[in-house]
Chain A
Amino acid sequence: MRRRESRLAYLMLAPTFLIVLVIVLGPLLANFWISVKPVGLADLRPPSVLVSERLRGSPKAVGDAVTLEYRLRNSTTDKEIRDVVLTDALPAGLTVTSLPEGCALEGETLTCALGTVPGKWRETLKLEGTVSQAFLDIEDPHEQVEATVTGDADNILTSFEFTLENFARIFDHAEFWSVLRVTFYYTIFGTAGALVLGLFAAQLLHVSFRGRGFLRGLFLFPYVSPVIAVAFTWVVLLDPFSGTVNALATKMGLADQAINFFGQRAVDLHLFGLTIEFPLALTTVIAFEAWRYFPLSFLFILARMQSMNTDVYEAAEMDGATPFQQFWYISLPQLVGILSVLFLLRFIWTFNKFDDIFLLTGGNAGTRTLTVDVYEQGFALSNLGAGAAVAVVVFVVLVVFATLFMTLSPKEEGL
C-alpha cells in the first residue's frame, strides 16, 4: 500500500519534475558550460554549405544543350565543414552529357561528394546535358526539386573546446566592479524603500473607514500592471523635454532647467559648502523599484497586522502608552518576523530584477546592474560566453543569499 502510494506520488510529480529539469535546472547548468566557451551570437547558426542552382542556356528545341550550375559556398569564413555531399534530383527530360568531378548519377538522382571544405570556400559545379520535350514543357524545370547539401561541422556549443577568457574579460573590465556596486545599492535601497513605503501604507489602511477597499485596490495598481506599461509611463512622465514633471518643476520655479532623471549619471549637490555627487539616474530607478513593489510588502504587513491580537493594545492604552510607544514597543516587534522575511525575499527578487532597469534606462547613466550586464554582454555585444559568465556570477551570489535566507528566515512565518 505504502509502496503504491509513493509510486503514485512520483507519477503525479513526474511532469513537473521533467519540465523544471529541462527549462530551469538544465539551463542553470548549461550556463556554466557556455561560460567557459568562446561562443558568440553568430555561432548559434551552425556552419553550413549554401547552394544556389541555376540554368544556363535557353533551350528552344529538343536536343538543345543546357548547363546546370550549382554554386556552393561555406557560410562561415573560418570553420571547415567535413563530408560535404550535394544531392539533387535532375529535372525531367535532361540527358546528361558530362558530369563534374566527384559526382555520380543514379537514375535521376545526382550525388556529389565534395569532401572537406575550408572556410570562405566557394565552388561552382557545372553539369551539361541536352533536353527533350518533357524538359521544355515545364517552366523553370531545375526548380522542381531543391538541391540539398549535407556536411558535418564542429558546433562550438557541443565541442570540447574550453577557455577562461570570458571570466578574465568580465573581471578585468574596470566597469565590472562599478556594476557590482550599483547592483548592491539598487538592491539594498530598492528593497528598503519598498518595505518602508509598504509599512507606512499598511498603517494608513489598518483601521477601517469608508473607501478603504477602494484605496487598497488602488495601492496595488503599480504592482499588478504590466511592467512595460508603468516603466514607459515613468519615462514619459519624467522626460526632460516633454514630461509633465519637468514642465511643472521648471514652470513653477522649482528647478532652473529640466532634469534628465533617467539620462544623467550624477548631479552635484551643494550642501553646507560640501559638494556631493548625487547619482541621479540610479536614485530614480530605485524610486521606481520602491514605487512598484511597495504594494507587495503593504499587502503582507497589512495581513499580519490584521491577525494581531488587539487585547495588548487595550492593555497598553490602560497603562497610558502613547501611540508612538504602542507602535514602537508593540506593533513593530510583532512585525519583525514578516518584515525580515519580506526583506530577504524582496532582496533576492530585487537582485534578480532585469526588466525594470532595462526598460527605464537600458542600463545607461550608471544604472547597469549585474542582470542588465548579462544582456549587455550576451546580446548587445553578441558575446554569449561572456554573458553566461556574468550569469554564473549572478547565480553564485544568489546561492549565497539563498543559503543566508534559509538559515536566517524565522520559521514561524511559514514561508
Chain B
Amino acid sequence: MLAPLLLAVLSGTLWGAVALSVMGVTLTLVSGVVAMPAAGAAALAGACHGVWLVVTGRAGRSASGEALRLAPDLGIDLLLLFVLMMGLSLAMPFSLPFDTHPLMQALALVAALAAVIAANRLCLTGVRLAPMRRYDVELVIIRALKGLGFVFFFIIVALPFYVMVMTSLKSQQALLANPLDLSIDLGQGITSLLRSYVELFTKYDFGTYLWVSTVVSVATVVLTLLFSVPGAYAVARLRFRGQAMLSRSVLLIYMVPAIVLVIPLYAVFSQLGLRNSLTGLLIVYPATTIPVALYMLQGYFRGLPAELEEAGLMDGLSRLGVILKITLPLSLPALASVSLYVFMIAWNEFLFAFMFLDNPDIFTLSRGIVALNSSEVPRQHLMAGAVIATVPVLFIFLWFERFLVQGLTAGSVKG
C-alpha cells in the first residue's frame, strides 16, 4: 500500500519543483525581473496533488477519459493546486509582489500548474491505492524519467539557440543594463531591432563573406561529386585488384585529423602562393570530403540492381553512357544527401579558413566571425554573425531533413 503513495509523492515533488523552476526561469528571461520560483512550496503542492489523485482514484481513470468528460476533473485539480500553491508560497509563487508584471506572473503560474497536472496525471496513470506489481512501479518511474528527459533535452538544445537569436536583436545598452532580460521590444521598429545585422552587412562586409562562403561550399560540392562519382562507381561495380582493401582504407583516410595536415599544407601553400587564396581552400576542402563522399556513394551504387546496367551495356551503351543515363538518375537521392552533407562540412569548416585566409576580401563566414571576436566588437554583433552563419545550414537541414539524416548515418562519422 505504501508504493502508490510513495510514487505519487515522488512524481508530485519532481514535477512541482521542475515545472515552477522552468516557468520561473522563463519568466525571468522574458521579463528581465528576477522571478525566484518557490520550488519547495511547489514540490509540496505537487506532492499533495499526486497523493490526492491516487487516493481518490482519479489517476486510474484519466487514461480512458475523453477531454470533455475530464474537464470538471481538471478544473478541480487546478483549483486544488492553485490554493495549495498560493497558500504554501504565501501568495508569492515567484517571490515577486503581485503588481510587477501581473499578467505574465499569472500566465507563468497557470502554465506551471497545468504542467504539473498533466505530468502527474500522465505519470500516475493506472496507479491506485492498492498493492502494485514491480512492473507497474517501473512503468511510473520510466514515465517520470522520460518526462524529465524531454524537459532536459529541450532546454539544453533550445536555450543556447534562443540566447543566440535574442542577444543579436538587443542593443549594447540593454545588454549591459540587464543581462537577464532577453525579451525584445517590438515597438522599436524593424530597423532598430535588426541594427546589428544592418551594421554587419554595411560596415563589416558580411555580404561578401556570405557570398564567398556560398561560392566555396557549392564549388566544393561540385568538385567532390566530379571526383567521387566515378571513383565510387569503380569501387562498386568494376572488378580490379585491391578493391576490398580500398573501401576500408577510405575510412582510415577519413580519420586523419585536419590539424595534422595543417602545418605541412601551410608551409607548402605559403611557398606556392596558394595560402591566402580561395584556390587553396578549394584544393583542401574537396580533398577532405572526397573519401567520405566516395564511401557513401559506393554503398548506394552497390544497392542498385546491376541487371539494369548490364541491360544498358547489352543495348550498346558505353560505360559512361550507363553511368550518365542509368546509374546517376537512379541515385538522385544519394547524390542529394551527399551534396547536402558535403555542403554542410564546407560551410561549417573553420580550421583551414582560419589558418589560410588573411585577406578580408575573401573571408568565409567562419573566418569573418572569428575576426568579430575581439573586445572592440560588441557581442550582439558576434551573435548576429553566428545567426547569419547558422540560419542557412539549419534552413537547408530542415528543408531536406530526410536526405540529410540518411547522409549523416551513411557518412557515419565526420566530427
Contacts and interface: CB of A to CB of B under 8 A. Distances in A.
Contacts of A23: 261, 265, 283-284, 287-288
Contact of B135 (A157, A323, A395): A323
A12 B386 contact: no
A244 B266 CA distance: 39
A229 B369 contact: yes
Given A221-B161, A224-B393, A232-B382, A398 B290 contact: no
Nearest to A23: B287
A278 to B, nearest CB: 21
Interface stretch (A28-36, A80-88, A264-272): A28-36
Interface stretch (A63-71, A105-113, A131-139, A197-205): A197-205
Interface string A345-379: 11011111111000100000000000100110011
Interface string A37-74: 00100001110000000000000000000000000000
Interface in B30-46: 34, 36
Contacts of B139: 323
Nearest to B380: A236
Given A6-B238, A251-B180, A355-B350, A402 B260 contact: no
Given A220-B397, A233-B160, A300-B409, A384 B149 contact: no
Given A12-B230, A31-B260, A251-B180, A352 B265 contact: no
A8 interface: yes
A27 interface: yes
A352 B160 CA distance: 25
A15 B394 contact: no
B227 interface: yes
Interface string A10-35: 10110110011011111110110010
A253 B34 CA distance: 11
Interface string B279-293: 000011011101100
Contacts of B161: 221, 225, 233
A374 B260 contact: yes
Interface string A205-231: 000000000010111111111111110
B257 A354 contact: yes
B415 A350 contact: yes
A286 interface: no
B397 A244 contact: no
A397 to B, nearest CB: 11
Contacts of B267: 30, 34, 39, 44, 157, 384
Interface string B289-331: 0110010000000000000000000000001000000000000
A interface, over-half SS: helix
B401 interface: yes
Nearest to B178: A247
B34 A19 contact: no
Counting from the closest, the 8 A-B pairs by CB-CB distance are A349-B415, A352-B257, A23-B287, A6-B240, A30-B264, A229-B386, A27-B264, A12-B230
Given A352-B415, A384-B263, 8 more contacts: A16-B231, A24-B261, A44-B271, A204-B146, A348-B255, A351-B257, A398-B257, A406-B248
7 contacts: A12-B238, A15-B230, A28-B261, A200-B149, A225-B161, A225-B348, A354-B351
Interface of A: 2, 5-6, 8-10, 12-13, 15-16, 19-20, 22-28, 30-31, 34, 39, 44-46, 157, 200-201, 203-204, 215, 217-230, 232-234, 236-237, 242-244, 247-248, 251-253, 291, 293, 296, 299-300, 303, 320, 322-324, 345-346, 348-355, 359, 371, 374-375, 378-379, 384, 387-388, 391, 394-395, 398, 402, 406, 415
